[in-house]
Amino acid sequence: MNRFLRMLLLVLACMAAGCSQLPLRDSLRISLVGIEPLPGQGLELRMAMKLRVQNPNDTAVDFDGVALEVDLRGLSFASGVSDQVGSIPRYSESVISVPVTVSAISVLRQGLSFANGDRSSITYAIRGKIGGSMLGGSTFKSNGQVDLPTSLLGPNPP
């Protein structure tokens, strides 16, 4: 048992030393910059979400695939994946497009939430993963709020 314990400690020490040699990177900065309609089927809605990916590191970041989920007003709204492959150069940025699907149930749920809640703004959250070779990729989250113009709310906003 004593020999097993020493071997285990040696393996853990080697793993810790190996992890300390990995380059430390700042997180990628990802924001939504546009939405374009796509053809859908049946009752689903399809959109291409344009994401600006900023690389604040001194080395390029290669990616292989993107997955994301979108919440509106705290409710699940859309999800999508893309098998896009690319690279974001050092201290640079790129715009990538991810097709997402919105189900009819999600649209109905959002309509009910909008009718029963605050109609002056819409909060959103986007979370996902950019696949890559370095430890499986990088996760991201972005959120914000869109204030609706009062002209859309009618003569007596809530």
Q: Which domains does the chain have, with CATH numbers?
A: 25-148 (2.60.40.10)
Q: What's residue 20's pLDDT?
A: 43
When pLDDT is cut at 50, 70 and 90, the band that residue 45 belongs to is very high
pTM equals 0.71
pLDDT digits 0-9 by tens, 108-136: 888 888 788 767 788 889 999 988 765 56
Report the mean per-residue pLDDT for the chain: 81
Q: Could you read off the pLDDT of 48-61 as tens digits, one per residue?
A: 999 999 999 898 88
Confidence of residue 153 (pLDDT cuts 50, 70, 90): low
| β pairing state of 121-130 and 138-147 | antiparallel
Locate the DSSP E strands across 2-135.
29-38, 45-55, 61-72, 75-88, 92-102, 121-130
